[in-house]
Amino acid sequence: MTTLPTPRGKLTESRNLNDLTWLRVGGPADFLFQPADIADLQTFMRDLLADISVFPMGVGSNLIVRDGGLRAVVIRLGRGFNAISVEGNTVTAGAAALDAHVARKAADEGVDLTFLRTIPGSIGGAVRMNAGCYGSYTADVLRKATIVTRQGDVVDLTPEDLNFRYRQSDLPAGAVLISATFEGPSGDPEELHARMSAQLQKRDESQPTKDRSAGSTFRNPAGFSSTGRADDVHDLKAWKVIDDAGMRGATLGGAQMSEKHSNFLINTGDASAADLEGLGEEVRKKVYETSGITLEWEIMRVGDPLTE
């Protein structure tokens, strides 16, 4: 029987994670901890036995949690970690703030973080994943990230510390991001809001935004960088090689490669994590057989499969 510190926030034993992920799959975490505030998180981390794993989770828009769940304390930030403030061109947001809210609030104040508007994650997930679209990435605008370390200390990290790469950054093991500071270019609020509306519409036209997905399933196969520089070419699209392998619309149980965008893996209703991951692996195999390309997962897969 594991004994955990008693926090002021909410600690739930054996909590299913399926309703906390966009794909609506995932078995139980040993514990789910929703800290009340920074001090509560610090004390909990400090007092938690060092051999107990911690998994910080955002809003689960880039995750397949396997059906057997996670042998860890999952930490999910909520109220107390979602404040957004704007001063000049500097925007500071709590890690639980949604990217879309941050983009809108920044635009209201004439700061261009519009690329965040259509990404359905939280700021913690955006920093960890170096989220980006339309040629802009979190790495371009991040100035500082603040974490609580596994030992319970509050530490500021620079962009260099985070070592941003395509859809990736480095955090100390077990650390929880609690806030981030960005600096965006100036823009006219009306123009920024109009641009975000256009981007939302573009997404709805080209991606299955109403389905349960976790965004792009695989990385595009070639030539990426996290900088969005003009010389960053990415000619070969994952959806194209998936189409070439005949896997658009392919199904396994309740999982499907979307007919609308073949690099989107969707839960059509009753998919298990095993269906989704299994279909993804089937796609990787078929793509390798037809084009010799090894697709790399962009969706993070965590936890244990179910054992019989």
Ligand X SMILES: Cc1cc2nc3c(=O)[nH]c(=O)nc-3n(C[C@H](O)[C@H](O)[C@H](O)COP(=O)(O)OP(=O)(O)OC[C@H]3O[C@@H](n4cnc5c(N)ncnc54)[C@H](O)[C@@H]3O)c2cc1C
Q: Using CB under 6 A, list all residues that contact ligand X.
A: 22, 55-63, 77, 95, 119-122, 124-126, 128-129, 131-133, 171, 176-177, 209, 213-215, 300
Judged by beta carbon, residue 124 or residue 303, the one nearer ligand X is 124
Q: How far apart are CA 258 and CA 270, in angstroms?
A: 15
User: Kindly report the CA angle at 215 between 200 and 128, in degrees rounded to 5?
Assistant: 100
In whole angstroms, the minimum distance from the beta carbon of 58 to ligand X comes to: 2
User: 3-state DSSP call for residue 125?
Assistant: helix
Determine contact, residues 247/259, Cβ cutoff 8 Å: no
Q: How far apart are CA 106 and CA 204, in angstroms?
A: 23
Judged by beta carbon, residue 285 or residue 300, the one nearer ligand X is 300
Judged by beta carbon, residue 228 or residue 291, the one nearer ligand X is 228
In whole angstroms, the minimum distance from the beta carbon of 250 to ligand X comes to: 19
**Which residues have a Cβ under 8 Å from the Cβ of 163 and sit 6 or more positions away?**
169, 170
Distance of CA 236 to the CA centre of its chain: 23
User: 3-state DSSP call for residue 218?
Assistant: strand
Q: What is the DSSP letter of 295?
A: -
Distance of CA 73 to the CA centre of its chain: 18
Judged by beta carbon, residue 41 or residue 247, the one nearer ligand X is 41
Determine contact, residues 307/71, Cβ cutoff 8 Å: no
DSSP 4-66: ----SSEEEEEEE-GGGSTT----EEEEEEE-SSHHHHHHHHHHS-TTS-EEEE-SSTTEEE-
Judged by beta carbon, residue 7 or residue 56, the one nearer ligand X is 56
**Residues acting as catalytic residues:** 167, 216, 298
